[in-house]
Amino acid sequence: MKNKCLPMLAVTAALLFAGTGASAEVLYTEKSLYRNIFVYEEDGLRCMKFGRYSWGRQTCMSLSDRNYLVFNYTRMMMASLYLNPSPQRVLVIGLGGGTLPSTLPKVLSSVKIDAVEIDPAVVRVARKFFEFAPGKQTDVFEEDGRVFVKRMLKRGIKYDLVMLDAFDNEYIPEHLLTREFLIEVRGLLSERGVLAANTFASTRLYNHESATYYSAFGDFYSLKKNSRVILVRLGGLPKMDELERNADIVEDRLRVFGTGKDWLLPLFGVESGWPPNTRILTDQYSPSNLLNGAF
Protein backbone atom coordinates (compact mmCIF):
# COMPACT_ATOMS: atom_id res chain seq x y z
CA MET A 1 0.00 0.00 0.00
CA LYS A 2 1.54 3.30 -1.09
CA ASN A 3 1.44 6.10 1.47
CA LYS A 4 -0.57 9.03 0.08
CA CYS A 5 -0.85 11.10 3.23
CA LEU A 6 2.39 13.02 3.38
CA PRO A 7 2.44 16.35 1.51
CA MET A 8 5.99 15.75 0.29
CA LEU A 9 4.61 13.08 -2.03
CA ALA A 10 3.14 15.85 -4.13
CA VAL A 11 6.67 16.56 -5.31
CA THR A 12 7.36 14.51 -8.42
CA ALA A 13 9.88 11.70 -8.39
CA ALA A 14 11.83 13.44 -11.12
CA LEU A 15 12.41 16.41 -8.81
CA LEU A 16 13.13 14.26 -5.78
CA PHE A 17 15.84 12.34 -7.58
CA ALA A 18 17.09 14.93 -10.02
CA GLY A 19 20.53 14.61 -8.46
CA THR A 20 20.83 11.01 -9.68
CA GLY A 21 19.25 11.49 -13.09
CA ALA A 22 16.86 8.64 -12.26
CA SER A 23 13.10 8.45 -12.49
CA ALA A 24 11.52 6.66 -9.55
CA GLU A 25 8.16 5.96 -7.97
CA VAL A 26 8.14 7.41 -4.48
CA LEU A 27 6.43 5.16 -1.94
CA TYR A 28 7.05 7.01 1.28
CA THR A 29 8.77 10.05 2.77
CA GLU A 30 9.34 11.06 6.36
CA LYS A 31 11.25 13.80 8.11
CA SER A 32 12.49 12.15 11.27
CA LEU A 33 14.37 13.67 14.16
CA TYR A 34 17.66 12.76 12.45
CA ARG A 35 17.12 12.84 8.68
CA ASN A 36 14.81 12.96 5.69
CA ILE A 37 13.90 9.42 4.64
CA PHE A 38 12.77 8.49 1.13
CA VAL A 39 11.57 5.08 -0.03
CA TYR A 40 11.20 4.57 -3.76
CA GLU A 41 11.12 1.91 -6.47
CA GLU A 42 12.94 1.83 -9.77
CA ASP A 43 14.38 -0.83 -12.10
CA GLY A 44 13.06 -3.72 -10.03
CA LEU A 45 14.50 -2.40 -6.76
CA ARG A 46 12.97 -0.88 -3.66
CA CYS A 47 15.43 1.52 -2.05
CA MET A 48 15.83 3.83 0.92
CA LYS A 49 17.89 7.00 0.87
CA PHE A 50 18.57 9.74 3.40
CA GLY A 51 18.22 13.28 2.10
CA ARG A 52 16.37 14.43 -1.00
CA TYR A 53 19.39 15.09 -3.19
CA SER A 54 22.03 12.85 -1.64
CA TRP A 55 23.50 10.44 -4.18
CA GLY A 56 23.89 7.51 -1.83
CA ARG A 57 21.35 4.80 -1.12
CA GLN A 58 21.21 3.24 2.31
CA THR A 59 19.32 0.10 1.32
CA CYS A 60 18.03 -1.58 -1.83
CA MET A 61 15.96 -4.75 -2.00
CA SER A 62 15.35 -6.76 -5.15
CA LEU A 63 11.63 -7.11 -5.77
CA SER A 64 12.12 -10.34 -7.72
CA ASP A 65 14.57 -12.08 -5.35
CA ARG A 66 14.32 -11.05 -1.71
CA ASN A 67 17.46 -13.00 -0.77
CA TYR A 68 19.72 -11.32 -3.31
CA LEU A 69 22.22 -8.89 -1.77
CA VAL A 70 21.99 -5.88 -4.07
CA PHE A 71 24.97 -3.88 -2.84
CA ASN A 72 28.58 -4.96 -3.19
CA TYR A 73 29.28 -3.86 0.36
CA THR A 74 26.66 -6.20 1.85
CA ARG A 75 28.20 -9.11 -0.04
CA MET A 76 31.65 -8.06 1.18
CA MET A 77 30.44 -7.78 4.77
CA MET A 78 29.47 -11.45 4.58
CA ALA A 79 33.17 -12.20 3.97
CA SER A 80 33.55 -11.67 7.72
CA LEU A 81 32.44 -15.32 7.95
CA TYR A 82 35.71 -16.27 6.24
CA LEU A 83 37.47 -15.06 9.40
CA ASN A 84 35.00 -16.91 11.65
CA PRO A 85 32.44 -19.15 9.94
CA SER A 86 30.31 -19.75 13.04
CA PRO A 87 29.87 -16.64 15.20
CA GLN A 88 27.35 -17.22 17.97
CA ARG A 89 26.72 -13.62 19.01
CA VAL A 90 26.72 -10.68 16.56
CA LEU A 91 26.35 -6.94 16.96
CA VAL A 92 25.18 -4.84 13.99
CA ILE A 93 25.40 -1.05 14.39
CA GLY A 94 23.29 0.76 11.79
CA LEU A 95 20.12 -0.82 10.45
CA GLY A 96 19.11 0.76 7.14
CA GLY A 97 16.55 -1.62 5.68
CA GLY A 98 17.75 -4.44 7.91
CA THR A 99 19.66 -6.34 5.21
CA LEU A 100 22.48 -7.66 7.41
CA PRO A 101 20.44 -8.69 10.47
CA SER A 102 17.85 -10.26 8.15
CA THR A 103 20.44 -12.25 6.19
CA LEU A 104 22.62 -13.55 9.02
CA PRO A 105 19.97 -15.80 10.66
CA LYS A 106 19.38 -17.44 7.28
CA VAL A 107 23.08 -18.28 7.06
CA LEU A 108 23.70 -19.07 10.75
CA SER A 109 20.86 -21.03 12.32
CA SER A 110 21.96 -20.53 15.94
CA VAL A 111 23.22 -16.93 15.81
CA LYS A 112 22.01 -14.30 18.27
CA ILE A 113 21.96 -10.73 16.92
CA ASP A 114 21.80 -7.33 18.58
CA ALA A 115 20.87 -4.68 15.97
CA VAL A 116 21.32 -1.04 16.98
CA GLU A 117 19.74 1.93 15.17
CA ILE A 118 19.57 5.48 16.52
CA ASP A 119 16.53 6.51 14.48
CA PRO A 120 13.18 4.86 15.36
CA ALA A 121 11.81 6.03 12.00
CA VAL A 122 14.40 3.91 10.18
CA VAL A 123 13.32 0.87 12.19
CA ARG A 124 9.68 1.51 11.26
CA VAL A 125 10.53 1.93 7.58
CA ALA A 126 12.64 -1.23 7.58
CA ARG A 127 9.74 -3.19 9.01
CA LYS A 128 7.08 -1.71 6.72
CA PHE A 129 8.89 -1.54 3.38
CA PHE A 130 11.88 -3.91 3.54
CA GLU A 131 10.45 -7.01 5.22
CA PHE A 132 12.61 -6.59 8.31
CA ALA A 133 10.91 -8.90 10.77
CA PRO A 134 13.23 -9.65 13.70
CA GLY A 135 12.41 -12.93 15.37
CA LYS A 136 13.66 -14.68 18.47
CA GLN A 137 17.24 -14.53 17.18
CA THR A 138 17.32 -10.74 16.85
CA ASP A 139 16.90 -7.92 19.37
CA VAL A 140 16.57 -4.33 18.12
CA PHE A 141 17.83 -1.40 20.20
CA GLU A 142 16.82 2.15 19.28
CA GLU A 143 19.77 4.14 20.57
CA ASP A 144 23.10 5.65 19.59
CA GLY A 145 25.59 2.96 18.61
CA ARG A 146 28.40 4.30 20.75
CA VAL A 147 26.17 4.61 23.80
CA PHE A 148 25.16 0.98 23.28
CA VAL A 149 28.80 -0.11 22.98
CA LYS A 150 29.70 1.66 26.24
CA ARG A 151 26.73 0.04 27.98
CA MET A 152 27.71 -3.45 26.79
CA LEU A 153 31.32 -2.84 27.90
CA LYS A 154 30.10 -2.06 31.41
CA ARG A 155 28.10 -5.29 31.39
CA GLY A 156 31.06 -7.33 30.15
CA ILE A 157 29.19 -8.54 27.02
CA LYS A 158 31.30 -10.11 24.27
CA TYR A 159 30.55 -10.55 20.56
CA ASP A 160 32.10 -12.96 18.08
CA LEU A 161 31.36 -10.54 15.25
CA VAL A 162 30.72 -6.80 15.21
CA MET A 163 29.46 -5.15 12.00
CA LEU A 164 29.71 -1.37 11.70
CA ASP A 165 27.26 -0.06 9.09
CA ALA A 166 26.05 3.28 10.45
CA PHE A 167 25.69 6.14 7.95
CA ASP A 168 23.91 9.45 7.74
CA ASN A 169 23.28 11.27 4.45
CA GLU A 170 26.97 12.17 4.13
CA TYR A 171 29.14 9.52 5.76
CA ILE A 172 29.78 7.59 8.96
CA PRO A 173 28.89 9.69 12.04
CA GLU A 174 32.06 11.26 13.40
CA HIS A 175 31.92 9.72 16.86
CA LEU A 176 31.92 6.26 15.22
CA LEU A 177 35.17 6.97 13.33
CA THR A 178 37.59 7.72 16.15
CA ARG A 179 40.33 5.65 17.72
CA GLU A 180 38.58 5.82 21.09
CA PHE A 181 35.44 4.29 19.62
CA LEU A 182 37.37 1.52 17.88
CA ILE A 183 39.15 0.68 21.14
CA GLU A 184 35.74 0.45 22.79
CA VAL A 185 34.53 -1.90 20.05
CA ARG A 186 37.70 -3.94 20.42
CA GLY A 187 36.78 -4.40 24.08
CA LEU A 188 33.52 -6.07 23.04
CA LEU A 189 35.18 -8.70 20.86
CA SER A 190 35.51 -12.23 22.13
CA GLU A 191 38.76 -14.14 21.78
CA ARG A 192 39.53 -14.12 18.03
CA GLY A 193 36.46 -11.94 17.53
CA VAL A 194 35.94 -10.28 14.15
CA LEU A 195 35.15 -6.70 13.20
CA ALA A 196 33.66 -5.82 9.79
CA ALA A 197 33.30 -2.14 8.91
CA ASN A 198 31.60 -0.65 5.85
CA THR A 199 33.46 2.44 4.61
CA PHE A 200 33.97 4.36 1.37
CA ALA A 201 36.66 3.21 -1.06
CA SER A 202 37.70 6.78 -1.83
CA THR A 203 37.36 9.86 0.37
CA ARG A 204 39.64 12.60 1.63
CA LEU A 205 39.53 10.77 4.94
CA TYR A 206 40.83 7.49 3.51
CA ASN A 207 44.39 7.62 4.88
CA HIS A 208 43.32 9.06 8.22
CA GLU A 209 40.57 6.49 8.62
CA SER A 210 42.93 3.67 7.67
CA ALA A 211 45.63 4.88 10.05
CA THR A 212 43.02 5.04 12.80
CA TYR A 213 41.97 1.42 12.25
CA TYR A 214 45.63 0.38 12.10
CA SER A 215 46.32 2.16 15.40
CA ALA A 216 43.52 0.19 17.06
CA PHE A 217 43.93 -3.23 15.43
CA GLY A 218 47.16 -3.46 13.46
CA ASP A 219 47.04 -5.04 9.99
CA PHE A 220 43.59 -5.45 8.47
CA TYR A 221 42.03 -6.92 5.37
CA SER A 222 40.57 -4.44 2.92
CA LEU A 223 38.00 -5.48 0.31
CA LYS A 224 37.13 -2.93 -2.34
CA LYS A 225 34.34 -2.92 -4.87
CA ASN A 226 32.80 0.56 -5.04
CA SER A 227 32.81 0.56 -1.23
CA ARG A 228 35.55 -0.67 1.08
CA VAL A 229 34.99 -3.22 3.83
CA ILE A 230 37.60 -3.46 6.58
CA LEU A 231 37.99 -6.85 8.27
CA VAL A 232 40.05 -7.52 11.39
CA ARG A 233 40.35 -10.43 13.80
CA LEU A 234 41.79 -10.37 17.28
CA GLY A 235 44.91 -12.47 17.57
CA GLY A 236 46.02 -11.76 14.00
CA LEU A 237 44.63 -12.09 10.50
CA PRO A 238 44.04 -15.58 9.13
CA LYS A 239 46.19 -16.64 6.19
CA MET A 240 44.68 -17.36 2.78
CA ASP A 241 44.53 -21.12 3.35
CA GLU A 242 42.36 -20.59 6.43
CA LEU A 243 40.17 -18.12 4.54
CA GLU A 244 39.68 -20.72 1.82
CA ARG A 245 38.76 -23.45 4.31
CA ASN A 246 36.24 -21.20 6.03
CA ALA A 247 34.86 -20.08 2.67
CA ASP A 248 34.13 -23.71 1.81
CA ILE A 249 32.18 -24.12 5.06
CA VAL A 250 29.69 -21.36 4.22
CA GLU A 251 29.80 -21.46 0.41
CA ASP A 252 26.49 -23.20 -0.20
CA ARG A 253 24.69 -20.92 2.24
CA LEU A 254 26.14 -17.70 0.83
CA ARG A 255 25.49 -18.62 -2.80
CA VAL A 256 21.76 -18.22 -2.13
CA PHE A 257 22.39 -14.51 -1.54
CA GLY A 258 24.37 -13.88 -4.72
CA THR A 259 27.86 -14.04 -3.27
CA GLY A 260 30.57 -16.59 -2.62
CA LYS A 261 34.26 -17.41 -2.67
CA ASP A 262 34.88 -16.96 -6.40
CA TRP A 263 33.85 -13.31 -6.09
CA LEU A 264 35.00 -12.57 -2.54
CA LEU A 265 38.40 -14.22 -2.12
CA PRO A 266 40.13 -12.26 -4.93
CA LEU A 267 39.08 -9.03 -3.18
CA PHE A 268 41.10 -9.74 -0.03
CA GLY A 269 44.14 -7.52 0.39
CA VAL A 270 46.13 -6.60 3.49
CA GLU A 271 46.63 -2.98 4.46
CA SER A 272 49.52 -2.46 6.84
CA GLY A 273 51.01 0.68 8.35
CA TRP A 274 50.71 4.32 7.34
CA PRO A 275 53.10 7.26 6.99
CA PRO A 276 54.05 8.56 10.45
CA ASN A 277 52.59 12.00 9.71
CA THR A 278 49.10 10.63 8.97
CA ARG A 279 46.77 12.16 11.54
CA ILE A 280 44.74 9.63 13.51
CA LEU A 281 41.07 10.48 14.08
CA THR A 282 40.28 10.96 17.76
CA ASP A 283 37.45 12.34 19.85
CA GLN A 284 39.45 15.58 20.11
CA TYR A 285 40.65 15.61 16.49
CA SER A 286 37.61 14.52 14.51
CA PRO A 287 36.94 14.59 10.76
CA SER A 288 35.27 18.00 11.01
CA ASN A 289 38.42 19.39 12.61
CA LEU A 290 40.46 17.83 9.85
CA LEU A 291 38.35 18.63 6.80
CA ASN A 292 35.84 21.21 7.98
CA GLY A 293 33.10 18.76 7.05
CA ALA A 294 34.29 18.28 3.44
CA PHE A 295 34.72 14.72 2.19
Of residues 24, 158, 4, the one with CA closest to residue 91: 158
> Which of 44, 62, 80 finishes a domain?
62
Number of domains in the chain: 2
Asked if 40 and 139 sit in the same domain, the reply is no
Residue 44 lies in a domain: yes
Asked whether residue 2 is domain-assigned, the answer is no
Q: Do residues 154 and 15 share a domain?
A: no
One domain for residues 38 and 124: no
Strand partners, 195: 162, 232
Whether residue 24 is found in the same domain as residue 124: no
The answer to whether position 227 is within a domain reads yes
Interacting residues of 155 by C-beta distance below 8 A, sequence separation 6+: none
Q: How far apart are CA 96 and CA 59, in angstroms?
A: 6
On whether the CB atoms of residues 36 and 189 are closer than 8 A, the answer is no
- Are the CB atoms for 114 and 142 separated by under 8 Å? no
| 275 and 253 co-located in one domain | yes
- Write out the residue range of the structural domain in which residue 22 sits: 7-62
Tell me, yes or no, whether 28 and 149 share the same domain.
no
In single-letter form, the type of residue at position 62 comes to S
Q: Is 158 a member of any domain?
A: yes
pTM for this structure? Answer: 0.91
- Residue 135 counted as domain residue: yes
- Statement to judge: residues 55 and 97 lie in one domain: no
Please report, for the domain that includes residue 208, its CATH number.
3.40.50.150
185 within 8 A of 151, measured Cβ to Cβ = no
Question: Residue 184 CA to chain centroid, in angstroms?
Answer: 18
Which residues pair with residue 231 across a beta bridge?
196, 221
Active site residue 262: no
Reported as a single tens digit per residue, the pLDDT across 237-263 is 999 999 999 999 999 999 999 999 999
The tens digit of pLDDT for each residue in 90-127 reads 999 999 999 999 999 999 999 999 999 999 999 999 99
| Residue 1 counted as domain residue | no
Does 47 lie in the same domain as 176? Answer: no
Please say which residue of 23, 41, 62 terminates a domain. 62
Question: How high is the pLDDT of residue 177?
Answer: 96
Q: One of 165, 168, 252, 262 is an active-site residue; which one?
A: 165
128 & 246 share domain: yes
SS3 65: coil
Contact status, residue 116 vs residue 90, Cβ threshold 8 Å: no
pLDDT at 294: 43
Mean pLDDT by 10 residues, the chain (295 residues): 40 44 82 93 95 74 97 98 98 97 96 98 98 95 98 98 92 95 98 97 91 96 96 97 98 97 98 88 84 52
Nearby residues of 254 by Cβ (< 8 Å), 6 or more positions away? 78, 81, 107, 260
pLDDT the model gives residue 291: 63
- Assess whether 54 and 112 both reside in one domain: no
| Same domain? 230 vs 279 | yes
Residues 257, 196, single domain; the answer is yes
Domain boundary at 20, 39, 62, which? 62
The answer to whether position 67 is within a domain reads no
